[in-house]
Chains A and B, each alone.
Chain A
C-alpha cells in the first residue's frame, strides 16, 4: 500500500482565519514533505521532516507553520494567508530522504479570499 491521505480535500478561508491541513501515511516512512503547486506548474518544496524533525524549510513565510506530531502525521497550520497563497497543497512521504521515491497524497485545494 502506497497511500498518503490528506484532509480536507477543499478549503476556503478568509485572510484572518486560522486553519490546518492534515496528512497521514501508514507505510512506515520516516520522511514527510509539504509542497505547494500552482496551476500548470510543478510542485514547489516547502518543508521536509526527517524522523519527525524539520530538516528543510525552503524560506517559507511564517504564516505557514508545519508540525509533525508523530512519524505518521504531518500538519500544516495556516494563519493570516494572502490570496496568492491559493494553490494545491500536496503532502508526500518517502522511506528515508536519500534518493528515495516520494509518494504523494491527493492534495488540498486551498482558496484564500
Chain B
C-alpha cells in the first residue's frame, strides 16, 4: 500500500525566508506526486505535480518541488515566503497501478509566516 509522510506538522518562517516542506512516499512503483494548498475555509488548490520527465517541477505562486527517486522524496520549496503563503499544505501520491487510483495524502503541514 502507498503511504505519504510529511515531516513537520507545523513550519514557521519569517517573511522573505526560504520555505521548505518535506514529503516522502513509499511505493515500489514510482507514483504521480502532487502538492496541494488549502487556505482557511477553502478547498484544496493544486500547486504542482510530478508525473514523468523533468524532476524539478515549477508550480504556481513561486513554488517548486524536486522528485528524487533515490530518496523517495518530493520536497516543496519557495525561495522567499510571503504573508499570503500562510496555509495548510498537503502532499499526495497517486499509485502507479491502473486498478488502484486512490489518492494518498500526507497528514499536512501548517505554514505560518512571521512579519
| Residues of A bordering B, CB below 8 Å | 2, 4, 6, 40-43, 45, 48, 56, 90, 92, 97-107, 109
A98 to B42, alpha carbons, bound, how many Å?
A: 26
Nearest Cβ on chain B to A40's Cβ, whole angstroms: 7
* B16 at the binding interface (Cβ < 8 Å): no
| Residues of B bordering A, CB below 8 Å | 31-32, 34, 36, 41-46, 49, 51, 88, 90, 94-96, 98, 101-103, 105-108, 110
Nearest Cβ on chain A to B40's Cβ, whole angstroms: 10
Q: Across the interface, do B44 and A40 meet the contact criterion of CB distance under 8 Å? A: no
A38 to B67, alpha carbons, bound, how many Å?
A: 29
Nearest Cβ on chain A to B107's Cβ, whole angstroms: 6
Known interface pairs A90-B44, A99-B51, A101-B34. Does A42 touch B90 (Cβ–Cβ under 8 Å)? yes
Q: Across the interface, do B32 and A99 meet the contact criterion of CB distance under 8 Å? A: yes
* CB nearest neighbor in B for A33: B103
Give the contacting residue for B42; candidates A45, A92, A106; CB below 8 A: A106
A residues near B107, Cβ cutoff 8 Å: 41-42
Nearest Cβ on chain B to A33's Cβ, whole angstroms: 8
The list of the 4 closest CB pairs from A to B, nearest first, reads A42-B105, A104-B44, A97-B101, A104-B43
A residues near B103, Cβ cutoff 8 Å: 45, 102
* CB nearest neighbor in A for B107: A42
- 6 of the cross-chain contacts (CB-CB < 8 Å) are A4-B43, A56-B102, A92-B44, A98-B98, A99-B95, A106-B42
Nearest Cβ on chain B to A76's Cβ, whole angstroms: 15
Q: Across the interface, do B41 and A109 meet the contact criterion of CB distance under 8 Å? A: yes
A residues near B34, Cβ cutoff 8 Å: 101
Give the contacting residue for A41; candidates B32, B36, B94, B108; CB below 8 A: B108
Q: Across the interface, do B94 and A99 meet the contact criterion of CB distance under 8 Å? A: yes
